[in-house]
Amino acid sequence: MNKRALAPVLLAVLLDLLGFGLVIPLLSYYAEGTGASPVQVTLLMACYSLAQFVFAPAWGRLSDRVGRRPVMLASIGATAAFLTLFGLADSLWALFLWRTLHGAAAANISTAQACVADVTTPENRARGMGLIGASFGVGFTLGPWLGGELSHFGLAVPIFVAAGLSALNFALALAFLPETRNPATRAPRRTINPAVFLEVARHPVVGRGVVLTFVMTVAFAMMESTFALFAEHARGLDAAHVGRMFGVAGVVTILVQGGLIGRLVKRFGERRLVPAGLGLLTAGLLLLPEAPPVLAMVAVFSLIAVGQGIATPSLQSLVSKGADDAEQGFVLGTNQSMAALARVVGPVIGGWCFTGLGEPAPFLAAGGVLALAAVLSLFAFPRPAREAETPAAAR
């Protein structure tokens, strides 16, 4: 693992996700200030992910051809601009416009994952993806917490702070982010169209990993998009409380993906960790609507974070290992795109469940779907040969 090349990539992801996390706890309160209904609040989250669905494979594919560095710089710079405009918006339609464009610009995580794939060996791939996840965790720890605390000074203040962090991210990436793509690697020309998604889905390992990522992300997005509404309307909590709970979950994610996941992969392998992580995530989602604030709710949030922290890098590693070296950006971009599509579907279903079936319904429905996915994941991946499954360091 090339740690010198990896560190600037992780820093870029950290700052990107820190800015994203700042907005999470206040988004529903901010949108409701312009007259948005609960369904419109969840649609505001969905439009961000819809843009990521469209642009993630395009960014990833472009990075396979022109390099990772220019794609990361362009997307980070655009993120700073669109966050600023989002903070200046004073109508619901403007919020939707700038939130959508922000989602398109921020669809660069697939490129960051491709950077990790460039500088890691197959044996260290899950650990590298886990470090990406840990950067997510730090962003979701400090971001929502800071966003909640800064909301006391005005709901727009965290948004402008997020824009400032993106500008800082651009400056640091311009100075330190290296080009990780091997110039000798030739990426085949490929048009991004629905047939390509079907081609990826038919792959015996990559396709199953992508499908499970999609289902897991739908369930998590149903919870994420409606939790602030649930906390506000059912528990009487404000944006600061929501931010602190997301922050605690982020700490747990850091511990799992930053240090524990590498050891777990060496001991059990990704194939066994996927159903274990999905099972823990299922339990947390089913328990969440019954957990009273604040300590019990935080404990359940932590359980959700452990489950996602185990399942996500394990699935990403399986997808990456199943892809050709010349198409890491495209395949990981497709995986990220399907996860983005899931974050479109999840909030839409979650908002409908919250409004039509009751406040606990999004969490119970998500847990039920994920329970089925956890069972199916037991049979999703063929047992590999021992030498393919067990890293050399563990032999």
Please write the tens of the pLDDT for every residue from 152-164. 888 888 889 888 9
3-180+201-382 topology per CATH? Growth Hormone; Chain: A; (1.20.1250)
* Percent of the chain residues topping a pLDDT of 90: 13
Q: Which helix (H) or strand (E) holds 76?
A: helix 68-88
In order of 107, 134, 335, the CA distances from 55 in angstroms are: 6, 23, 12
Task: Output helix, strand, coil percentages for the chain, rounded to the nearest 5.
Answer: 85, 0, 15
In the structure, what pLDDT confidence band is assigned to residue 301 with cuts at 50, 70 and 90? confident
What is the reported pLDDT for 371?
Answer: 92
What are 36-61's pLDDT values in tens digits?
888 888 888 788 878 877 887 788 77
CA dihedral 129, 15, 103, 257 (to 10 degrees): 30
Q: Are 286 and 367 in contact (CB under 8 A)?
A: yes
pLDDT of 270 higher than 60 = yes
Q: For the chain, give me the number of helices (H) and strands (E)? A: 17, 0
pLDDT of 388 higher than 50 = no
Question: Count of alpha carbons within 13 Å of 310, Cβ hemisphere only?
Answer: 26
Instruction: Say which range, 260-264, 338-342, 367-371, has the weakest mean pLDDT.
Output: 338-342
The residue ranges of every structural domain in the chain are 3-180+201-382
Q: How far is CA 147 from the centre of its chain?
A: 18
Give the pLDDT mean for 358-378: 91
What is the reported pLDDT for 333?
Answer: 67
In 10 A of CB 289, how many CB atoms? 19
pLDDT of 122 higher than 80 = no
Instruction: Say which range, 132-136, 184-188, 214-218, 390-394, has the weakest mean pLDDT.
Output: 390-394
Q: What are 14's two structure tokens?
A: 């950290």
Q: Mean pLDDT for the chain?
A: 80
pTM of the model as a whole:
0.66
pLDDT of 91 higher than 90 = no
What is the reported pLDDT for 280?
Answer: 94
CA dihedral 63, 210, 347, 98 (to 10 degrees): 10
